[in-house]
Structure 1
Amino acid sequence: MRSNQLTGEMPAFLGFLTNLKFLRFRNNSLRGTIPPSLGNLSSLEVLDLAANGLTGILPEALGRLTNLSYFTVATNAISGNVPVSMFNLSNIRFFSVGGNNNIHGTLPSNLAITMPYIEFFSVAENQLSGQIPISVSNASNLNVLELDGNRLNGNVPSLEKLDKLRILTVFTNQLGHGREGDLNFLCTLVNDTKLESLDISINNFGGVFPKCISNFSSAVLQLVMEDNKMWGRIPDGIENLINLESLRVSENHLSGHIPFNIELNTLQGSIPSSLGKCQNLLVMDLSDNNLSGTIPPQVLGLSSMSIALDLSSNYLTGELPLEIENLEKLGELDVSRNRLSGFLPNNLGSCVGLEKLLLDGNSFEGPIPSSFSSLRGLVRLDMSDNNLSGVFKNASATFVEGNNKLCGGIPELHLSRCNSKTSSNTSLKIAIVVVVFGVTLVFTSLLVLWFRKKKEQPTTTCVENSLLQLSYQMILKATDGFSMQNFLGSGSFGSVYKGILEESGETIAIKVLNLLNQRASRSFMVECALKNIRHRNLVKVLTAISGVDYQGNDFKALVYEFMENGSLENWLHPSTAINEPEMMRNLNFFQRVNVAIDVAHALEYLHHHCETPIIHCGLKPSNILLDEAMVGHLSDFGLEKFLAEDLLNYSTNQSSSLGLRGTIGYAPPGQFSLSISSSHRLNTLA
């Protein structure tokens, strides 16, 4: 029954299914504890309860499942200790309690001796302490060992017998002593021909960077050793790891030269067409080299390429191949500063996922393709320093009014003449004098206004955050592909996700509009219009995104500041939503009063201190969000009414407002206010 929408608790009567061999509830929304009656399933071989919201402890009775070979409760909210009897399940091959649980205790000293067939062992992201048992060195069948995200300390034992190990993660612990000898265990892995990924970062490992790493298997793809206390230099032989994709050794005490063979290159020659066989390629960066020749059509035929293709700053010649149309999911294309020529292919408009298109510094000629109108997600476009022509030669087909910085062109456009170098210098001098005088005047005025506002205006508004410059690709990364792990909830006009920006690490909330709902676009425009309104009790709109997704569909999203404590609704009526572990939540009397006051401040500001009074038509607990200090913030303005606009269209003969707004089942403030003729009464009621 995995990957469904099951809710509630696991029924105890499952323990009566004594012949059951496989029980899978992975990826549902189950809550409550694991029934001890499952210990009666003596025939059970597979028990998969991962990715739910289960709480409580692991029942001691599970240690009776002697036929169990596969067990996981990863990504739940399990606490307590793992029963010792579970480490004695001799047939177990896959064992995982890792991922967002809260399990305490230590690992038993005879681990791996009592699990002789173990292949996958994970206790990651828990609260385990103590040392890694020496007995783990006997787990000769291990493929994956995940001990990361705990409080383990001491040394890592020899791993010499683990010659089948592919993945080893011990990052984010307290391992090592910051001295020589801490990294000796790495040299016991040189005979492991299957090792692909090793992550020992964020620990206390000291000692010289081990030279033995140069003797690791060429199968190694990832080495992560950052944030430790290593010293010395990176050994020259590291280039032997010919398949290495990621080497991270930052935040240590390394010195000396970076080995020449892993530095930046000055590649020359042509781009090999055989790269077209890399059918899973996502990004290709060959920029800043001495490459020449034409761009192979086979490279542009890689439809898998969805992140970036950067061929800039080389000596590439010829035309941009027509196969460019295959890169319809590509986010960034940069062929700037080359020697490319010819017409731009009209099918370039097929690359509907493009957010950045850089063609500058080449010799492209002819008109700008009309298909560029399909690139609705573009954030940056640079076609400067080419020989392009087109619509600007036809005055009747060109409208340039309002672009005060344009100059030159054909006389019919009536643009100002572009100044010569001499007159430009004169204008520059005049401009500098004017700017200096203007800046002084503006600064003085702002200083006077600041002192005046400080005296007159209460501190109800916050300094406006600088607007974020985000794109669909950045939002996709921030939410891990809009995964359910980051899903916060849904409403009338879309779904809300938690996101972490890759560049800054800032946590944000993202509302992705459901454009199948015709009212969603209006809601988007309304909240865009309100993004400059600032008050400590209003949720800030950080930015808005409008473009297309990788399938070419319209995409609209709003980005808000993230509220750590969720909605008032979830505090008053605890939720059983996906990915939110059950917890005891309670608001005391003073917190309730404070939240009510916060909301009152927000409404008072909207009604009386905005340039145009605004009525919030969806005031309810789910639209009141609480930050980390439990301060209330009013959110979701998609149904608001601008009061001044309504009053202009209002007649005293009318007996009702513009129509019902908000959630059916309650009447928000202002719902019936337009039926009252007195403006004083109107503001009072609102």
Structure 2
Amino acid sequence: MVLAMKLICSRLLELDLYINHLSEDFPSEIESLTKLVVLDLSHNNLKGKLPVSLGNLTSLRALAFVTNNLEGGIPDDIARLTQMETLEFSENNFSGVFPPVIYNLSSLQYLSMFGNSLSGSLKPDFGNLLPNLQGIYMGKNYFTGGIPTTLANISNLQVLRMEYNSLTGSIPLSFGKVKNLQSLGLAVNSLGSGHFGDLQFLDALVNCTQLQDVDVGDNRLVGDLPTSIVNLSTNIIYLSLQNNLISGSIPRDIGNLIRLQTLWLAKNLLTGPLPNSLGKLSDLGALLLFSNRMSGEIPSSIGNITRLESLVLSNNSFEGIVPPSLGKCSHLVYLRIGYNKLNGTIPMEIMQTQNLYHLSMGGNALSGSLPNDVGRLQNLVLLSLENNSLSGQLPDTLGKCLTIEVIYLQGNSFDGDIPDVRGLVGVKKFDLSNNNLSGSIPGYFANFSSLEYLNLSVNNLEGKVPTEGKFQNATIVLVFGNKDLCGGIRELQLKPCPLQAPPVETKHSSRLKKVAIGVSIGIALLLLLFVALFSLRWFRKRKKNQQTNNPAPSTLEIFHEKISYGDLRNATDGFSSRNMVGSGSFGTVFKALLPTENKVVAVKVLNMQRRGAMKSFMAECESLKDIRHRNLVKLLTACASIDFQENEFRALIYDFMPNGTLDMWLHLEEVEEIRRPSRTLTLLERFSIAIDVASVLDYLHFHCHEPIAHCDLKPSNVLLDEDLTAHVSDFGLARLLLKFDQESFFNQLSSAGIRGTIGYAAPEYGMGGQPSIHGDVYSFGVLILEMFTGKRPTNELFEGNLTLHSYTKSVLPEQVLDIADESILHMGLRVGFPIAECLTLVFEVGLRCSEESPTNRLQMSEVLKELISIKERFFRARRTARQ
């Protein structure tokens, strides 16, 4: 019997152990199955390395072990499997370079190695060595180098997926020869030359009549969107070019792609309107165009796309009304059209799209009220209508949206009481700040177990603030700016609620009681005064002893090496004026030589008599301890001690920047001769500095653990190293944003002397607005305008309604050279260089950043992308001018 079984197994042709919970090493028994043609061990938990004995199964035509935990490399013995047609080992832990042995499997038709840790480049003759491939799946690895042009020689190739790698170079034009190509996936690489012409491959793909999906998003492709995309295969269902540097407009005949289901062109530099022909795309499920520069009205024809599920047009410049025809899109799940220039009212028809999950229209100029029918949106999770001009009472029907988790209604003119939303127990974030709401705060918010953030600030609310449940946490509940609120927990710093009126008494007993109360209060106050004076003396003495024994506060435990007051005094020659390199809101900066390391550093000594200096010191330490960026000034260590007169001493020690501040380079005439730079900055150097600063702000706003607002960006806080690389400094006001301590922020804003640098601080800060990353964008916009005009925002030229922003805007584009810094125009630019075009583009970025309304400003990720694009065009223009 055993012999018979062995005989049967030895003749086995196909072994399928797909999803069998195998959890050991690769089964050694398989090596005896020499007649096997198909072996599938996918979706198990196999471990270890592939055995070399697999090479003995020379009859194999299909080998699959997808989704296991195998590791190491592919053994060379696989080369003996010359009949192999399908090789699939995706989603394992294989590492090393592309297995060279695979190049020997010339019969291979399907190769799948997605989701491993393979690296290195591909052979240039890849396509010649594997000419029979029909499907290539190599995504989610670490491959580098270019895409082999010989892939176009694989005449039967249908699928090429190489997304999520680190590929560089151009996308081969020769792909147009692959007539049977159906799927091209090259997203999330570094493809593109950075110059116009990167999109020519799309012209070639017109010849691929079987093409169904193209995904080249998240690369570095530059150029105008070619009109040829409307001539792509009518079979195409998915087209993604998102997150590149693509300019131009969407061709008006885009409706030719009649089977298109997804059009993803977000995060580019596209301009122009939405074509009416989009309404012909009856199968379209997702139209994703956010974060571009598009304009015009949203065409009502979009309402004809009845299968539309996602319409995302946010962060553009669309204007006009929200089309009521969107109500016909009954399958709509995501409607995100915020941060445009839309006006009019919220269409009642939209409340009929009962599948809506996200409704986002914030940052426009919408007016009218929130429709009562909002309660029909039974699947709504996010409602974002912030920063519009909406008014009227909020309907109680909002409380019927039982699945909602996020509600943003701040920055409007809603009035009346807070609506009855006691049923929204799953809400996580609820912002009603900056409206005209009145009445009391409902107590039921205290029991919202999922609540993470409730902002009721800057309204006309009154009465007692609850102290139970969620109201016990001041980082969750914000109520400042309501002058008639009282009570609450101590951290809210509200006035106490008045005592209830006492019962009616006779005049005589009332007078006696008043006398008794007055005497009691007087005695109590004397006792309290005595205790306070005694405690204050004891606290000061204890604090001084603590500082002597343990000078560094807990925040400074991040520094590996402390430095003493005496060390710094010696290193700066007694804080001599000869070593002073600048002064600011909270103190003075000295150049110092640390003898132990023979290192020149910058020492920022804080003026501890200045209100807010200690908070500035702690904020700067806290801000810089966890963030790393090449364009951030590096905080080396800090000193927290007492000086020789037993006064508090605080200092921050940074890398020294030998080329001083951007401010002194922009305004040479104001710098004393001994410190004055020998020349002015060139156009290219100004571009590079602007990109350096934009890169820092993009990092702080979007790539840290939490968003960080710098809050004090100006030329004197941009330092230049020996190569004129920019480093952003002075984080004395930063991260207060993260603690949701807006009142403290505004106190600091005043004490920090922001009023002394008026023109850089965002206008909303002066009107009680909350600190935000949008404020940094405004400051950056002013910085850009100053860098290229040479004029400060506080220049005497700017009086009344004339500002640096309006001054610049009024002359573009015809008179751009009249306002440009003259030194730029005489710094070695060749004949024929398009200086006017170049400056117009950068001024437009500065203007869009420094818009008065925060909602109209760009995001720093967009700013960085645009500046890089302009710089690339600048280089291209220079080469042209020199020819």
- What TM-score, normalized to structure 2? 0.40
Bigger relative contact order (CA 8 A; separation at least 6) = 1
- What TM-score, normalized to structure 1? 0.50
Which structure has the bigger radius of gyration?
Answer: 2
